[in-house]
């Protein structure tokens, strides 16, 4: 399938000029994930959006985010959320994200679930 990288590049230029929104760890935001190479998760629609969990906030500008999917698969790289059981975190695709990519807040997970996700990430790394 051909990807329209030129369209994403135009949108990325607009995103680069945005103000940085306020966000917190545990928030779930619609995020301009973009068009990516190979098996990296892409955003959807003309704004290239995908829900992302903010796992670790480093400062007001960057965070570790985990993209989400509605995949029916079950494996160690996916984590179903209590927040919305039809949504799963793609743990293997954790990445550093600039906060200007955030579009709007969808919701948040609780501290217990944040702890569970962090433990699963640690397990993947060991």
- pLDDT tens column, 58-82: 999 999 999 999 877 788 899 998 8
Mean pLDDT value of segment 38-61: 88
- What is the three-class DSSP state of 36? coil
How many whole angstroms separate alpha carbon 21 and alpha carbon 50?
17
For residue 35, pLDDT beyond 70: no
Range 10-25 average pLDDT: 91
Fold of the 5-125 domain = SH3 type barrels. (2.30.30)
Give me the sign of the Cα torsion angle 103, 105, 111, 114.
negative
For residue 27, the model assigns a pLDDT of 97
The domain ranges of the chain are 5-125
How many C-beta neighbours within 10 Å does residue 52 have? 31
Q: Which two tokens stand for residue 105?
A: 């807040």
Q: What is the pLDDT of residue 102?
A: 97
Supply the pTM of this predicted model.
0.90
């Amino acid at each position: 399938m051909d990807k329209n990288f030129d369209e994403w590049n135009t949108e990325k230029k607009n995103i680069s000029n945005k103000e940085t929104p306020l966000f917190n760890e545990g928030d779930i935001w619609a995020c301009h994930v973009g068009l990516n190479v190979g098996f990296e998760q892409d955003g959807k629609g003309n704004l290239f959006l995908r829900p992302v969990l903010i796992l670790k906030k480093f400062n007001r500008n960057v965070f570790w985010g985990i993209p989400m999917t509605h995949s029916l698969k079950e494996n160690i790289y996916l984590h179903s959320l209590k927040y919305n059981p039809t949504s799963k975190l793609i743990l293997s695709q954790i990445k550093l994200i600039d906060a200007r990519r955030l579009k709007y807040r969808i919701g948040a997970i609780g501290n217990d679930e944040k702890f569970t996700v962090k433990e699963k990430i640690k397990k993947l790394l060991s």
